[in-house]
């Protein structure tokens, strides 16, 4: 039997306006699935379209050690970059920067010999992913690959009663299942996957079929928009960012080992049911989003915050931490600071804090 009752009103939900004070809201069209109470960014080239933040700048830092031979190898969003050593480290890494900048979606790639960096800037709507760098023979080490953003912060998504609650099946194919059949992949076999019309770098059999399928997943995950690519047994499941179209056009297997029954792959595209922690309610792509640009609003924070903390917004998803989420983490590789916002109240991790925002 319940003998006592709380006299306090439950403390909000993400995206709820915190008071009836003056606030400035605008309407924008959603480029992708957007939950309530998340930081939003202007879509480049669009006057009234918003999306969640994306990393689009990567700074590659080396330790200025000796680089005497070999070939610099990496991938940039699934496209292979391979530059042979030439004369000295600075000459070679300048050539690497030029090779990266030649990619159609890269704005600039600049080598600074004095700072020992290559700074790569992609178009603002591109989620930039530079794969593991290898092939440097000598004493040089790549010490870090730091990601940042050049996005224009527009505001915070507001909760509205007009959006239906519960899981929503978006009317767009944004997931694909690739099923391998017949004889297993083996020595010398290659796999070429084409996603959204772009053929990815060929994956060559390595050690075992399981290892090779993981390499295929790694290659797919570097494609802009892909949220995950995982395998179980002989099945790879690819999920795009919810609401963004995903087309795995083909999976071509070169049976160089001449198996008795050549390996094959079948592709099935479908729609994913989207689930968020905050009540499974969200704006779907093309729906109009109410965005707070000036006023006070509740947000769910990733970590404990206080009113003395700076406001940071996440641009790289990590586990349950979503793009557009709020925290106080000073880590430019995953979050960026919003100078026009402040925490009004404190909150525990996963709790709700009031953010005051004052954008021009």
End-to-end CA distance of the chain: 53
pLDDT at residue 243 tops 70: no
Q: How confident is the model at residue 327 (pLDDT cuts 50, 70, 90)?
A: very high
> What pLDDT is stored for residue 164 in this prediction?
53
Give the pair of three-digit tokens for residue 254. Answer: 């070169």
C-alpha span between 145 and 118 (Å, rounded): 10
The percentage of residues in the chain with a pLDDT greater than 90, rounded to a whole number, is 44
pLDDT at residue 56 tops 60: yes
> What pLDDT is stored for residue 237 in this prediction?
93
How high is the mean pLDDT of the chain? 86
pLDDT at residue 278 tops 50: no
> What pLDDT is stored for residue 170 in this prediction?
56
- In sequence order, which residues have a C-beta less than 8 Å from that of residue 303 and are 6 or more positions away? 327, 328, 329, 349
- Nearest to 322, CA basis, from 337, 300, 307: 300
Yes or no: say if 16 and 292 are a contact pair by the CB < 8 Å rule: no
pLDDT at residue 168 tops 70: no
Q: Domain spanning 168-274: which CATH class is it, in words? A: mainly beta
C-alpha span between 70 and 91 (Å, rounded): 13
Task: Give 61-74 pLDDT, tens digit per residue.
Answer: 998 888 888 999 99
> What pLDDT is stored for residue 104 in this prediction?
81
> What pLDDT is stored for residue 152 in this prediction?
85
pLDDT at residue 279 tops 90: no
> What pLDDT is stored for residue 163 in this prediction?
56
C-alpha span between 89 and 66 (Å, rounded): 7
> What pLDDT is stored for residue 6 in this prediction?
57
> What pLDDT is stored for residue 212 in this prediction?
93
Range of weakest confidence among 106-110, 127-131, 273-277:
273-277
> What pLDDT is stored for residue 338 in this prediction?
94
> What pLDDT is stored for residue 125 in this prediction?
72
User: Beta strands 49-51 and 39-42: pairing type?
Assistant: antiparallel
pLDDT at residue 263 tops 80: yes
Task: Give 112-159 pLDDT, tens digit per residue.
Answer: 988 899 999 988 778 888 988 888 887 788 888 888 888 789 999 998
C-alpha span between 265 and 258 (Å, rounded): 16
C-alpha span between 14 and 8 (Å, rounded): 18
182-208 average pLDDT score: 90
**Quick one: CATH architecture of 24-52+152-165+283-358?**
Beta Barrel (2.40)
Q: Which residue has the higher pLDDT, 150 or 271?
A: 150
The helix or strand, by DSSP H or E, that contains position 157, with its residue range, turns out to be strand 153-157
Yes or no: say if 127 and 56 are a contact pair by the CB < 8 Å rule: yes
Task: Give 329-359 pLDDT, tens digit per residue.
Answer: 877 678 999 999 999 999 999 899 999 999 9
């Amino acid at each position: 039997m319940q003998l006592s009752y709380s006299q306090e009103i439950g403390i909000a939900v993400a995206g709820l306006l915190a008071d009836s004070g003056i606030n400035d809201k605008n309407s924008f069209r959603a480029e992708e699935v957007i939950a309530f109470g998340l930081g939003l960014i202007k879509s480049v080239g669009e006057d009234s379209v918003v999306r969640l933040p994306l990393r689009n700048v990567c700074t590659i830092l080396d330790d200025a050690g000796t680089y005497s031979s070999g070939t610099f190898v990496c991938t940039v969003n699934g496209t292979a970059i391979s530059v042979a050593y030439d004369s000295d480290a600075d000459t070679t890494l300048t050539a690497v920067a030029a090779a990266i900048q030649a990619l159609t979606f890269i704005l600039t790639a600049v080598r600074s010999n004095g700072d020992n960096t290559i700074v790569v800037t992609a178009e603002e709507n591109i989620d930039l992913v530079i794969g593991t760098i290898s092939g440097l023979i000598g004493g040089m080490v790549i010490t870090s690959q730091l990601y940042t953003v050049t996005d224009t912060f527009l505001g915070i998504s507001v909760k509205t009663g007009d959006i239906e609650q519960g899981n929503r099946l978006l009317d767009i194919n944004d997931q694909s299942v690739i099923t391998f059949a017949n004889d297993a992949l083996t020595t010398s076999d290659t796999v070429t996957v084409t996603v959204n019309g772009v053929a990815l770098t060929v994956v060559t059999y390595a050690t075992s079929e399981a290892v090779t399928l993981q390499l295929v997943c790694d290659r797919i995950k570097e494609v802009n928009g892909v949220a995950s690519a995982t395998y179980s047994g002989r099945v790879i499941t690819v999920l795009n960012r919810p609401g963004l179209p995903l087309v795995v056009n083909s999976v071509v297997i070169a049976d160089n080992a001449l198996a008795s029954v050549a390996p094959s792959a079948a592709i099935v595209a479908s729609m994913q049911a989207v689930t968020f922690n905050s009540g499974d309610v969200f704006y779907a792509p093309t729906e109009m989003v109410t965005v707070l640009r000036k006023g006070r609003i509740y947000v769910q924070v990733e970590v404990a915050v206080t009113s003395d903390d700076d406001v940071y917004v996440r641009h790289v998803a990590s586990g349950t931490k979503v793009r557009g989420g709020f925290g106080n983490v000073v880590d430019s590789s995953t979050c960026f600071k919003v100078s026009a916002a402040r925490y009004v109240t404190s909150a525990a991790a996963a709790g709700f804090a009031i953010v005051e925002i004052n954008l021009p």
